[in-house]
Amino acid sequence: MEFNRKRDSDSMKFKRRDVKMQKREYSEGPLTRQKQASSTTPAGCMCKPLKIFTSNVRGIKLIKNRVDKLNKLAALNPDILFIQELRLNHIEQIKEAQQLWKIGKSVISIGSDLADGVGILFNTYNLEIIKRRDIIPGRLLVLDCNLKGQKLRLINVYTSSDRSKKIQLFRKLPELLCSGHDIILAGDFNTVTEENDREASTHFKLSKEGKILKEICDEFEMKDSFRVMYPDSFGFTRYDNKTKTRIDRIYVSKQANLNDYKTVTPGSEE
Residue 217 three-state SS:
helix
Q: Are 35 and 15 in contact (CB under 8 A)?
A: yes
CA-CA distances (angstroms) from residue 154 to 95, 146, 199, 206, 241?
21, 11, 30, 27, 33
Rounded to whole angstroms, the Cα distance separating 225 from 259 reads 10
Rounded to whole angstroms, the Cα distance separating 218 from 97 reads 36
56 labeled part of a ligand binding site: yes
Backbone angles phi, psi at 169, to 5 degrees: -65, -45
DSSP 235-263: ---EEETTEEE--EEEEEETTEEEEEEEE
| 220 closest CA partner among 193, 253, 250, 191 | 253
- Alpha carbon 68 to its chain centroid, in Å, reads 20
190 labeled part of a ligand binding site: yes
CA-CA distances (angstroms) from residue 69 to 58, 212, 225?
10, 33, 25
Q: How many residues does the chain have?
A: 270
| Sequence ranges of the binding site | 56, 85, 188, 190
| Sequence ranges of the binding site for Mg(2+) | 56, 85, 188, 190
